[in-house]
């Protein structure tokens, strides 16, 4: 059973999806960023997505979702399987947020409508965000239409349950003998491996003079962001950045293999959980 705090966070995400579905094209980028922020703040949502990511191939599913026809405009059709649809939508939103996918181009290419940006945005919200919202709402048995109300109720209940209570005196913990050190946890070993791979990639990029300056800057920015996420011990943000970075690094020969090893390290870690 999930905690009331997590329940409120999930309702908050669904509420953000509702805002995007019911809203207009203006500030669409900010709405996408809000959805991603809500995902990152919920451990339960993150665990669902991380479980889906174990066997998910973004490039393959993205290619399958693009439907082209000589007589009709191209479209983007989500897979029916929730375990493929959820990570696909998440990765598309990540790519839009990072700038790898231009939202205007994506709407014109796959959600074309004579009504212009507003109508295209509406199609995107209904065909992409709504199924994503509905599946997550079903997983956690939440009514999407009342998510905002439920969020408020959950927070109120959380405040009541968190009211101070008389507690027994805390037990004094025995100090460990000096010289004894704890074994590094699998999580610490994972972050160390990711840091080492990132540092190797930074070295390779600095030595490759064929890469354009702006491309090197973009790659180094993401790599340093991954290192920072590891320093903060954030599995959520490091894994999201690694997935997004993988698509950027495919075109860069000097770090291509290291980037693949980065993704493999992430997959091995999740399989070991």
**How many CB atoms neighbour CB 210 within 10 A?**
7
Q: What is the pTM of this model?
A: 0.58
CA distance from start to end of the chain:
19
CA–CA distance, 35 with 40 (Å, rounded to integer): 9
pLDDT tens digits for the chain (273 residues)?
678 888 888 999 999 999 999 988 888 888 998 999 888 888 899 889 888 888 889 999 999 999 987 777 889 999 999 999 999 999 999 999 888 899 999 999 999 888 888 899 999 999 999 999 999 999 999 888 776 544 444 444 444 444 545 454 555 455 555 555 567 788 889 999 999 999 999 989 888 888 888 888 888 888 988 998 898 888 877 887 888 787 778 888 899 899 889 988 888 887 775
Burial 165-196 (b: 16+ CB within 10 A, else e): eeeeeeeeeeeeeeeeeeeeeeeeebbebbee
The pLDDT value given to residue 182:
65
Give the distance from CA 203 to its chain's centroid.
27
Q: Residue 141: left (phi > 0), alpha (psi -120 to 50), or beta? A: left
State the virtual CA torsion across 43, 46, 47, 52 in degrees, nearest 10: 170
The pLDDT value given to residue 154:
47
The pLDDT value given to residue 173:
53
Structural contact between residues 50 and 142, judged by C-beta atoms closer than 8 angstroms:
no
**CA-based radius of gyration for the chain:** 22
The pLDDT value given to residue 177:
54
């Amino acid at each position: 059973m999930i905690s009331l705090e997590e329940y409120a966070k999930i309702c908050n995400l669904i509420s953000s999806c509702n805002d995007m579905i019911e809203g207009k094209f203006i500030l669409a980028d900010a709405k996408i960023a809000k959805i991603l922020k809500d995902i990152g703040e919920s451990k339960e949502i993150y665990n669902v997505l991380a479980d889906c990511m174990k066997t998910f191939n973004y490039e393959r599913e993205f290619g399958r979702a693009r439907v082209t026809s000589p007589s009709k405009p191209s479209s983007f059709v989500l897979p029916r399987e929730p375990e493929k649809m959820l990570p696909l939508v998440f990765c598309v939103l990540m790519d839009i947020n990072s700038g790898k996918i231009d939202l205007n181009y994506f709407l014109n290419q796959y959600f074309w409508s004579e009504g212009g940006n507003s109508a295209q945005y509406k199609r995107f919200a209904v065909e992409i965000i709504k199924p994503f919202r509905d599946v997550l709402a079903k997983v956690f048995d939440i009514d999407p239409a009342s998510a905002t109300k439920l969020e408020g109720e959950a927070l109120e209940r959380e405040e009541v349950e968190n009211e101070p209570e008389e507690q027994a005196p805390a037990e004094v913990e025995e100090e460990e003998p000096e010289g004894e050190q704890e074994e590094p946890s699998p999580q610490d070993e994972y972050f160390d491996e990711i840091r080492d791979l990132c540092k190797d990639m930074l070295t390779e990029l600095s030595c490759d003079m064929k890469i354009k300056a702006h491309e090197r800057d973009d790659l180094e920015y993401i790599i340093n962001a991954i290192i920072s996420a590891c320093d903060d011990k954030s599995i959520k943000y490091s894994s999201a950045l690694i997935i997004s970075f993988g698509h950027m690094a495919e075109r860069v020969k000097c770090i291509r293999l290291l980037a693949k090893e980065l993704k493999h390290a992430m997959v091995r870690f999740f399989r070991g959980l």
